[in-house]
Amino acid sequence: MLLNPAIMALIGVSAVVALLLLLAAGFAIQVMRHWDIGSGSELQLNLERRTYLISTILSYAFVAELVSLLLFVYNAEAMSTQFVGAMCATGVLNVDPWGWPTLFLKIAVFFAGGVWLILNRLDNQGYDYPLVRVKYALLLAIVPLVIAEAVVQAAYFLGLNPDVITSCCGSLFTPESEGVAAEVSSLPPRTAVTALYASAGLALLSGLATLWRRGAALLFAGSGLLAFMVALVAIVSYVALYVYEHPHHHCPFCILKSGHDFVGYYLYIPLFAATVLALGVGALAPWRRIPSLVTAAAVDIRRFTWLSLMGFVLFYAVATYAVVTSNLTMQGVWW
Amino acid sequence: MKKLILRQKYLIDFTLSSLKRRLAKNLGLLLVYTLIVFLLASVMLFTHSLRREAGIILESSPEIILQRLVAGRHDLMPAEYLDRIGRIRGVTRKAGRLWGYFYDPAVQANYTLMVPRDRDLGQQEVVIGAGIARTRGVDVGDFLTFRSSDGRAFSFRVVDILEADAELVNADLLLVSEGTYRDFFGIPADRFTDIVLQVRNPSEVRKVAEKLTVLLPDARPILREEILRTYDSIFSWRQGIVFVLLGGSILAFVIFAWDKASGLSAEEKREIGILKAIGWETSDVIRMKFWEGSIVSLTAFLLGFILAYLHVFYGQAALFEPVLKGWAVIYPSFNPTPFVDGLQVATLFFFTVFPYTVATIIPIWQASITDPDAVMR
Amino acid sequence: MIELDDVKKAFNQGRPNEFWAIRGVSLRVDANRITVLKGPSGSGKTTLLSMIGCLSRPTSGRILLRSRILSGLPERFLTEIRRKTFGFIFQQFNLVKGLTVLENVMLPAYPLGLDHQPLKEAALKLLGQFNMESKADSKVEWLSGGEAQRTAICRALINDPEILIADEPTANLDTRLSREFMAIIRDLKQQGKTVIVTSHDPVVFEYAGIDTVVEMRDGNLAEA
């Protein structure tokens, strides 16, 4: 166990967010049980007012989770000096088996929270709140995810032991070793680049199709998620190499450093934003025919699809730019 | 989109004027808030820059230090060990070092005596650290006299004073020539204090250290990366301890913020009632209150952080001086290079703004659900 | 224009101190008319007015505005309708202290996110109509009763509502100012507004320009 302020902050934030969500879930259950939009009773009025509290809690929790995702990566980066063999965040995440699951859970919570807020936004535009039960059921599904994140993260930090010799990106992302990370990076660059641009094409086309016909929204959400995963793999196995100008440096975190012009932020911010919006569009689509939501759903789906498409385009532009302007020549030399 | 921004602008305008109208109440909150940020940020910036300074200094130190142990205690290193090490692959340079401590009864302080590797000094010449120059009140050209281990008096002429850049380490340093050092402490010519080795490739350091322990069973290798790691964890651990201690004040602050947010004056309640009656929606009021919190937080955060920055980097961390002074009589004057990173700011955010925000969620909501027809009753 | 159909309103429902403030009121309010709800205090006229003005919801019964049902709408949407359709004048004027006359008048428009310049011009024009232009930048706590009343009227009109709602508007005014207020109300009616007023002040319900007087007693309409 390492007692350091950033770790204390992360554990504290996750615990508080989990508590807030439990509180919100308690209210959500009451709302689901007693909700009767037609009633003018004081109970119904109170429940309606509770919904404001739940929305507020969720928006704050979402922002807190976002900042804590950043802090988690920063902290892993900063702790790399404290572990033998760790040279950057990758090594620190490898120190015990809970490191990577924590990161993935944090990303999952981010996406779930974003989708919930988008759904909530739509529902608030329907005068009869038609999605009230749907969105609170979804909220109840998010709560275990947040609790799991808090627990796994605590397990990770409690298990941190500075005596452990860890393996860092140099050895982790080499084709010779085993495991997911190795598989990801041992992906031949040609395959990675093909997959990257193929998923890009799919995401962008299905996005345009959604602008044309709302029915394509689910396809867009699916291909957005696919594009997100492919993009992460491609960053590790392909884009990063060009950023570092080194054919064997596969790290997904070092690109966030100043030495590489913070190019990681220009990649990750549009990518994450675009993906959460695409997922949100997918969550809106099934409800677009509810009478009280028809107009609002059409406007929201259109707006979020546009924003998401802009995010994806920006991401692919930055990734392509990073590769094109790099001094590393791999084509013909390495593959 | 434009509508959205304009709406926020109106809400911020209103919030600013409402903060101004209740200046006294908000000033108290702002003061406490700023103080909390200032305290935490000072601790953070201070320990962080200490760690950084230490890291910068160690950067130039050798990769491996080899000490001889006799019965578990540090002993002088025979010169022949240098030959016994012989050629180890990866070691680019090896050398014996001479250094030690000396107690000066005149000012009741401990000095570190050392033989420099890159500097030739005459028999009677000495180079001193800025801290010694200050306590003894000497300058270049002055003389210093010490009694050696066998009672003889040695007189030295100060030829130079070390730069104050890295005063944290060289404040108490005395540099003398090898001959003088051996004479002064009575150390035979075939003995060193320890041996240092330079290893170019960091991944070979562990292997070299392993070979050394096999070659010289009575010697202990100390690795630079290990020292760095120890420093790192000690500093972050200390920082953590201080934060735990300050946890009480954060909690007090949270309760204070909760109390301020929930204890609305009759005037404020009436105001929110009016706003709701004339057409503000619950979420408008929540947003207005959100901006209020953001403005207060941002002001307190910036103010506290800037004050802490000035305190640590330009005020020599004056508030922590008494704690540090316990170290030694020769107190290094501390002028770290200003340095801020995202991790610190994000951590600080979670220790101050986050608790404040959480503490105010429910009071804000309670204020915002005032009945719109409350003003008519 | 507005129809009430067997509207009831309870407070503290389900508790021992349950109290039915409105016990089944059916009423029609026509457009471009001045309607006065008259009755002693405690008769439920203010509660009824707040339901008509979308400030609160009936416990049961229906309220229709231009045949759109309002009574089932959540607060969020009620507010939206309210700020576009209704302007409010309250008994104690309810101006926000510390703000100027101009700011007070503009306040109801803030959540709409309109451009600042046109909004300001509209507010100044309104103030001009009521001879309040010179006071635009004074703080509201320095106003006389009549000036405060006129500021409150300007505020009620800033979003150009069709219906003006006034709750005991003359309670804090002397007879001369009360008459002045009624004259303003009559002018507003001539401009096409619908006005609904509660009052137990004879200056109001005996005023010549009034179209309808509805008398209330114990939460019911008093049979005339």
Round the average pLDDT of chain A to a whole number and report it: 86
Cα–Cα nearest to B374, from B253, B250, B285, B243: B285
AA letter at B54: A
Please give, rounded to a whole number of angstroms, the shortest distance from the CA of B296 to a CA of chain C: 20
Task: State the pLDDT at residue B370.
Answer: 87
All chains having 3 or more CB pairs closer than 8 angstroms to chain C: A, B
The model's pLDDT over B328-376, given as tens digits with 9 standing for 90+, comes to 455 556 666 777 777 888 888 889 999 999 999 999 999 999 888 888 7
The model's pLDDT over B10-39, given as tens digits with 9 standing for 90+, comes to 999 999 998 888 888 889 899 999 999 999
Asked if C75 and A45 come within 8 Å (Cβ–Cβ), the reply is yes
Task: State the pLDDT at residue B132.
Answer: 83
- Mean pLDDT across B118-136: 84
Task: Return the higher-pLDDT residue of C94 and A85.
Answer: C94
The model's pLDDT over B261-311, given as tens digits with 9 standing for 90+, comes to 888 888 888 899 999 998 899 999 999 999 999 999 999 999 999 999 998
Contacts of A9 in chain B (CB under 8 A): 346-347, 350-351, 354
Q: Please state, in angstroms and as integers, the Cα–Cα distance from residue A315 to each residue in A63, A302, A320, B126, B134, following that order.
A: 22, 20, 9, 62, 58
Query: If you measure CA to CA, which chain B residue comes closest to C113?
Result: B7
Residue B279 to residue B284: CA distance in whole angstroms: 10
Mutation choice for C interface testing from B12, B265, B274 by most C CBs within 10 A = B274
Contacts of C111 in chain B (CB under 8 A): 7, 10-11, 279-281, 284
Of A41, A42, A48, which has the smallest distance from its Cβ to C74's Cβ? Answer: A48
Cα–Cα nearest to B215, from B81, B38, B71, B55: B81
Task: State the pLDDT at residue B123.
Answer: 83
pLDDT at A87 over 80: no
* Contact with chain A for residue B371, Cβ under 8 A: no
Q: What is the CATH number of domain C32-56+74-221?
A: 3.40.50.300
DSSP annotation string for C22-74: EEEEEEEE-TT-EEEEE--TTSSHHHHHHHHTTSS--SEEEEEETTEE-TT--
Task: State the pLDDT at residue B332.
Answer: 57
Report the complex ipTM.
Answer: 0.91
Task: State the pLDDT at residue B326.
Answer: 45
Residue A333 to residue A322: CA distance in whole angstroms: 19
* Contact with chain A for residue B340, Cβ under 8 A: no
Element spanning C82, H or E: helix C75-85
Residue C189 to residue C162: CA distance in whole angstroms: 10
The model's pLDDT over A165-202, given as tens digits with 9 standing for 90+, comes to 666 665 566 555 556 666 666 677 788 888 989 999 99
Residue C64 to residue A191: CA distance in whole angstroms: 64
Buried b (16+ CB within 10 A) or exposed e, B218-242: ebbbebbeeebbebbbebbebbbeb
Cα–Cα nearest to A168, from A236, A248, A86, A109: A86
* Contact with chain B for residue C116, Cβ under 8 A: yes
Contacts of B3 in chain C (CB under 8 A): 112-113
Task: State the pLDDT at residue C123.
Answer: 94
CB atoms near residue B149 (< 10 Å): 11
Residue A11 to residue A68: CA distance in whole angstroms: 10
HEC sequence for A261-278? CCHHHHHHHHHHHHHHHH
Task: Return the higher-pLDDT residue of B71 and B234.
Answer: B71
- Mean pLDDT across A128-137: 91
AA letter at A3: L
Contacts of A46 in chain C (CB under 8 A): none
Residue B287 to residue B368: CA distance in whole angstroms: 9
CB atoms near residue C80 (< 10 Å): 17
- Mean pLDDT across A98-120: 93
CB atoms near residue B56 (< 10 Å): 15
Task: Return the higher-pLDDT residue of B322 and B212.
Answer: B212
Task: Return the higher-pLDDT residue of B21 and A162.
Answer: B21
Which of the four pLDDT bands, split at 50, 70 and 90, describes residue A203? very high
Residue B220 to residue B209: CA distance in whole angstroms: 9
Which of the four pLDDT bands, split at 50, 70 and 90, describes residue B74? confident
Task: State the pLDDT at residue A173.
Answer: 60
Q: Are B99 and B197 a contacting pair, CB within 8 Å? A: no
- Helix ranges (DSSP H) in B186-265: 205-215, 224-262
Mutation choice for A interface testing from C13, C51, C68, C81 by most A CBs within 10 A = C13
Task: State the pLDDT at residue A322.
Answer: 86
Round the average pLDDT of chain B to a whole number and report it: 84
The model's pLDDT over C30-57, given as tens digits with 9 standing for 90+, comes to 999 999 999 888 888 999 999 999 888 8
Element spanning B345, H or E: helix B342-368
Contacts of C69 in chain A (CB under 8 A): none
The model's pLDDT over B80-97, given as tens digits with 9 standing for 90+, comes to 888 888 777 778 888 888
Round the average pLDDT of chain C to a whole number and report it: 90
Asked if B279 and C111 come within 8 Å (Cβ–Cβ), the reply is yes
User: What are chain B's domains?
Assistant: 2-58+229-376 (no CATH), 63-222 (2.40.40.20)
Query: If you measure CA to CA, which chain A residue comes closest to C71?
Result: A40
Task: Return the higher-pLDDT residue of A128 and A117.
Answer: A117
pLDDT at A53 over 50: yes
C188 token code pair: 């507003």
Asked if B278 and C46 come within 8 Å (Cβ–Cβ), the reply is no
Element spanning B85, H or E: helix B80-85
Asked if B44 and A64 come within 8 Å (Cβ–Cβ), the reply is no
Asked if A53 and B365 come within 8 Å (Cβ–Cβ), the reply is yes
Mutation choice for B interface testing from C89, C94, C153, C198 by most B CBs within 10 A = C94
pLDDT at B191 over 60: yes
First to last CA, chain B: 38
Share of chain A above pLDDT 70, in %: 89
